Amino acid sequence: MLKLENISKTYNHRHEPLTVFDRISYEMLDGDFISIVGPSGSGKSTLLLMLGGMMSPSSGKVVIDGESIYDLPPNQRAEFRRQKIGFVFQTFNLVPYLSALENVQMPLFLAGLSEIEQKERATSVLERLGLGARLAHKPSELSVGQQQRVALARMLANDPTVVLADEPTGSLDPETSAQVMDFFEEINQEGRTVVIVTHDPSVARRAGKMLRLGDCKAPYDEQAPVWASVV
């Protein structure tokens, strides 16, 4: 379970305070599939980073599985994040000089798995995503859609219970975008909590619940039920 407890976030912008969130509280149930939508500057990516333990709130708590993650020391928070949370970004963040297999091995290496275990698990996840014949390919030798699937495989390598994705289909064509969303639905059906930031109404509608930030109107609320709204 993910909980936001009385969260506030304020930045200094040109020497002036800018409040993005002001004492909001929400609860995400285990196994939820949630899209976060809203106009630019409404705080979508900020909220995702706070949920993932990568950006602390100005006040309030982020609680995952009963643990207040920003009350943990930095090294314990990093370990908690590694064990529980998987990230996917629009820019993929693949290491250009490593192969697809080596990119997926990275989180497994950091987790302390043996090299044999790393290769076995990384190969299995890449094969699941249809990249069994691309293990030795570097990112520059892969299409954009294949690079995104490598990023998805790397995210899944440590078997996270929570998956956070920031515009995961933003650079993909419609067909590949639909395939990526099929994958998110699949891993959600396996019991993982999935939270996706998106500006694409067709992607937002694939989620079971929707979090609207700011002044966000139709077409987002035509299909999926609105879970909450911050205005």
1-5, 104-108, 185-189: least confident range: 1-5
Antiparallel, parallel or unpaired: β 209-213 and 226-230:
parallel
**Cα 109 from Cα 172, distance rounded (Å):** 29
Residue with tokens 């949630």: 34
Residue with tokens 């943990």: 72
At residue 215, the pLDDT reads 54
Q: Which helix (H) or strand (E) holds 122?
A: helix 115-128
pLDDT over 70 (residue 222)? no
pLDDT over 90 (residue 122)? yes
Antiparallel, parallel or unpaired: β 59-64 and 67-68:
antiparallel
Note the pTM of the prediction, 2 decimals: 0.86
Provide the 10 A C-beta neighbour count for residue 103: 25
Cross-strand bridge partners of residue 18: 11
At residue 218, the pLDDT reads 38
8-12, 57-61, 225-229: least confident range: 225-229
Provide the 10 A C-beta neighbour count for residue 54: 15
**Cα 195 from Cα 51, distance rounded (Å):** 9
DSSP one-letter string for 129-194: TT-GGGTT--GGGS-HHHHHHHHHHHHHTT--SEEEEESTTTTS-HHHHHHHHHHHHHHHHTT-EE
Residue with tokens 């995210």: 155
DSSP symbol at 101: H
- DSSP reduced 3-state for 85: strand
The domain ranges of the chain are 30-42+73-230
Strands, E, within 29-171: which ranges?
33-37, 59-64, 67-68, 85-89, 162-166
Q: Which CATH superfamily is domain 30-42+73-230 in?
A: P-loop containing nucleotide triphosphate hydrolases (3.40.50.300)
Count the residues in the chain. 231
At residue 225, the pLDDT reads 41
